[in-house]
Structure 1
Amino acid sequence: MNLSLPPFLIETSRLFLRPFVSSDFEGYTAYHALPAVYRYLYCDPPAGDALKQQFSDLLRAQFMQDGDVFTLAVTRREDGAVLGEVLLKLASINARQGEVGYIFNPDFAGSGYATEAVRAIVDLGFAHFGFHRIFARLDAQNAGSSGVVERLGFRREAHLIENDCFNGRWGDEYIYARLFSEWQSQARSSSLQARISVSSAV
């Protein structure tokens, strides 16, 4: 695997994906403070100093060992608005397994931004980092998130029954995944949506 962080900006037809910077805190807070966003994350939204610390930790995050997370801010090209974030977690370096995740501000829902951004981070995971398999773990009731990965060709591999509990409520989980060979086959037959370009701003 190649664990070096890409020295470039990811550009799609409508979006830029880039590392978070300190000035993004307001946009980050706009959706991380919403209970609706954390509904399927099995925890309460952070607030006050906890939210500031979470954002500060994000700015200093490493991508070197199992459990580390590489996160990019998703911004709209036309106005620079922070729409949300996409991430890749190092689930296993030895087995070249990565977990994809994404959180978006519901104010920007319904325009296909999540699908566009997740496609780009998955492309990066396979093409740059060299993952063999990328998977997603989603609350079974989160139809919107399931729709994102299904549109990108991920298959549902498992349905875990009542595998987590939050505030006394048990929840099910779906596991979706895609292999490098499956991604590569599609990449050969169609041009990738994500265009990677060097940016001195990153």
Structure 2
Amino acid sequence: MDIEYNDITTILEEFDDVGKVMFGSTVYGGNPYDILWRFTFDTYFGNVDQIQINASFVGGYNPTATTSTIVDGHTIINPLNRGMLQTVHDKPQVTVTINDIPSRCTGDCSYEWLPSSTPAVTNVTRTSVSPNTTIDITGAGFSPLSENNNVTIGGVACVVTMANDSLIICDVSEVPSGEYSVTVEVNGKGHCKI
């Protein structure tokens, strides 16, 4: 055989839609004429059409020439920015991350913030000190089910003992004196802080 891989590389690069061709490796089969060349097409990104070969003008004893794809072309973007997963909408969309990896939402992912659906804290009062400190939290949008209201004071859990739409009473222990933020999270509605 009187053609080498660099001859094929030169011929392929003459075509406008091929671009830069990089030679990968040579694998020899059972005889010196059974040769497999691997090329990488490096200019056009994505999964492009497989190259075709016409061996009808190749001379010799039953010559064959075939092409096959070892790896489909692709583009790697790392890290993937959250903005690349966003689409244009009239309403704000939910951004989802799982283990710090941006994910995409399927279907209708719009949401609308309504003050009437969001819990709000207007006042926090300490009502007793012994044996636990009892705290009264007034506001709006709380759940009447105590277990649906999660309260923390400076990161320490305050156990909810009573709740309605506008009042939460909780007990907290082992909080040193000082000024702390109070966070109320209502299941299904979100959280607020004062």
Q: Which TM bucket (shorter chain)?
A: under 0.3
TM-score (norm 1): 0.22
Bigger RCO (CA 8 Å, 6+ sep): 1
Q: Normalising by structure 2, report the TM-score.
A: 0.23
Determine which structure has the larger helix proportion and give its number: 1
Structure number with greater Rg is 2
